[in-house]
């Protein structure tokens, strides 16, 4: 059974988490929020960014990264600008976890150093003023690469016009 898991480690900006929540709700991905969070989960900005999809979300909360790892088995893929391999070069197995760090600092370097084969990056320009993609964009890029490889299981892949017909 396919199950995509999106993990946010210490997210700081409620709007990013709200956007990622919406992506999870519409793709069937599970959202894992690892604390401490930089906001309350009843934050109006979080709810607004997630719009009316919050009830479709499968979300789990953890006190810390240690708590998360104690309750979940991988495989884990760590998204980081510091990684040496490209996210689309990996073959993602069923029930994988895409792990993203907080907006201001990313994932702990100790975690990355201990798991070099599982660290991936999304290609970007090499420019001193360009640090990284927005967290919600990165999570969407990662999620849709995995779903593309899995041939979009259970997702509607053909749309319909509202007033006209194809």
The answer to the question of residue 31 being in a domain is yes
Across the beta sheet with 85-86, the strand order is 58-62, 30-34, 5-9, 97-100, 76-79, 119-121, 85-86
The answer to the question of residue 164 being in a domain is no
What does the pLDDT look like over 6-21, one tens digit per residue? 999 999 998 899 899 9
132 carries a ligand binding annotation: yes
Hunting for tokens 């993602």 — which residue is that? 92
- The pLDDT of residue 129: 87
Per-residue pLDDT, averaged over 120-147, amounts to 95
The answer to the question of residue 30 being in a domain is yes
Q: How does DSSP assign 47-112, residue by residue? A: HHHHGGGGGG-EEEEESSHHHHHHH----EEEE-TT-SEEGGGS-PPTT-EEEE-BTTTBS-HHHH
Handedness of CA 62, 116, 83, 75 (dihedral sign): negative
Q: What confidence tier does 28 reach under pLDDT thresholds 50, 70, 90?
A: very high
Return the CATH number at 78.
3.40.1280.10
Q: Which domain holds residue 21?
A: 5-149
Number of folded domains that form the chain: 1
The answer to the question of residue 162 being in a domain is no
What does the pLDDT look like over 89-119, one tens digit per residue? 999 999 999 999 999 999 999 999 999 999 9
- The pLDDT of residue 8: 98
- The pLDDT of residue 163: 96
Q: Is the pLDDT reported for residue 143 higher than 70?
A: yes
Residues in the chain: 166
The answer to the question of residue 111 being in a domain is yes
The answer to the question of residue 46 being in a domain is yes
What does the pLDDT look like over 29-74, one tens digit per residue? 999 999 999 987 775 666 665 556 778 899 999 999 999 999 999 9
Q: Is the pLDDT reported for residue 88 higher than 70?
A: yes
- The pLDDT of residue 96: 98
Per-residue pLDDT, averaged over 149-166, amounts to 95
Cα atoms in the Cβ-side hemisphere of radius 13 Å centred on 118: 17
The answer to the question of residue 52 being in a domain is yes
The answer to the question of residue 163 being in a domain is no
122 carries a ligand binding annotation: yes
The overall average pLDDT reported for the chain is: 93
101 carries a ligand binding annotation: yes
């Amino acid at each position: 059974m396919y199950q995509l898991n999106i993990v946010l480690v210490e997210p700081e900006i409620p709007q990013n988490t709200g956007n990622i929540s919406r992506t999870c709700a519409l793709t069937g991905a599970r959202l894992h929020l690892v604390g401490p969070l930089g906001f309350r989960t009843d934050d109006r900005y979080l709810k607004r960014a997630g719009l009316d999809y919050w009830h479709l979300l499968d979300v789990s909360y953890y006190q810390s990264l240690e708590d998360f790892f104690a309750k979940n088995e991988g495989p884990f893929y760590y998204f980081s600008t510091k990684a040496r391999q490209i996210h689309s070069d990996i073959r993602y197995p069923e029930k994988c976890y895409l792990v993203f760090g907080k907006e201001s600092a990313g994932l702990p370097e100790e975690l990355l150093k201990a798991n070099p084969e599982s660290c991936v990056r999304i290609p970007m320009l090499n420019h001193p003023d360009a640090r990284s993609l927005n967290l919600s964009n990165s999570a969407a890029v990662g999620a849709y690469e995995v779903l593309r490889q899995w041939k979009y299981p259970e997702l509607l892949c053909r749309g319909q016009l509202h007033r006209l017909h194809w």
